[in-house]
Amino acid sequence: MTIGRIERRGLMLVLSSPSGAGKTTISRRLLALDDNLAISVSATTRPPRPAERDGVDYFFVSEEEFGRLAAEGALLEHAKVFDHYYGTPAGPVQEALAAGRDILFDIDWQGTQQLAQKARDDLVSVFILPPSKAALKERLLKRAQDSEEVVARRMAKASDEISHWAEYDYVVINEDVDFCLSQVRAILDAERLKRHRQTGLVDFVRELREEPVP
Ligand code: 5GP
């Protein structure tokens, strides 16, 4: 992509949060607002939920297929989350980055750590926190009509995920969805302008400074 006329390298924007912090809403709205951002579709061994489509929400694969992808090195990162395996197919990410497109990842802290090891310079990680414990519990309760016990288990999982907040580049609190979205967009805008991502700057500046040939 070019900013004005400047070529730049794409970046990898990771959004992580405990479930119930509003991450899905933020990602959907961010994607709808930004033409240069595409979502990375993960592979998973989890069975599809009723509204989910193969190849759109996830690539739903068997454990055998997942193991094969991991062994072939076709996954940029992978992890076991709750009871299932999840992983990021490497090919689409590498193509997008090289073409200057940015990619959004909805992955957990384990995946974020692996991406940081492999591609620190391309990574921008954002952790979304709920505004309070009460709000988190309310959102988890609203999500499904589960028993107190199920909600308590989810709260414990959320607490575990939250403990990784300090590993992220940015932390935003989702008190108001519109405001939170504007903060994530501000992060993305500023990160796109980072000098090391603007690969066309050297030529651009050379041209600015060149004396005209007589
Ligand atoms: P869900 O099953 O509710 O769609 O996702 C469960 C969790 O897995 C979420 O926290 C989500 O961010 C995480 N997740 C989804 N895809 C990936 C992936 O490719 N890699 C990793 N490490 N986590 C993922």
Cβ of 140 closer than 6 Å to ligand 1, yes or no, is no
- Kindly give the distance from the C-alpha atom of residue 81 to the centroid of ligand 1, in angstroms, as a whole number: 7
- Kindly give the distance from the C-alpha atom of residue 107 to the centroid of ligand 1, in angstroms, as a whole number: 5
8-state DSSP, 146? -
Cβ of 110 closer than 6 Å to ligand 1, yes or no, is yes
Alpha helix ranges (H) inside the chain: 23-33, 63-72, 90-98, 109-119, 133-143, 148-162, 177-192, 201-209
Cβ of 69 closer than 6 Å to ligand 1, yes or no, is no
Cβ of 41 closer than 6 Å to ligand 1, yes or no, is no
Kindly indicate whether the domain formed by 2-40+101-210 is annotated with CATH number 3.40.50.300. Answer: yes
Best CA proximity match to 101, nearest among 190, 197, 202, 205:
197
pLDDT digits (tens, 9 = 90+) for 26-73: 999 999 999 999 999 999 999 998 889 999 999 999 999 999 999 999
Tokens of 69: 């992808």
Q: 151 with 133: CB under 8 angstroms?
A: no
- The reported pLDDT for the residue numbered 128 is 97
- The reported pLDDT for the residue numbered 3 is 54
- Please determine, for residue 91, whether its predicted confidence score (pLDDT) is greater than 90: yes
Considering only 130-139, 149-158, 161-170, which range has the smallest mean pLDDT?
149-158
Pocket test for ligand 1, best of 86, 104, 125, 162 (most atoms within 8 A of CB): 86
Nearest-atom index, ligand 1, CA of 110: 22
Cβ of 113 closer than 6 Å to ligand 1, yes or no, is no
> What's the whole-number mean pLDDT along residues 151-180?
93
Ligand 1 atom 6, closest CA? 81
Ligand 1 atom 12, closest CA? 107
Q: 61 with 44: CB under 8 angstroms?
A: yes
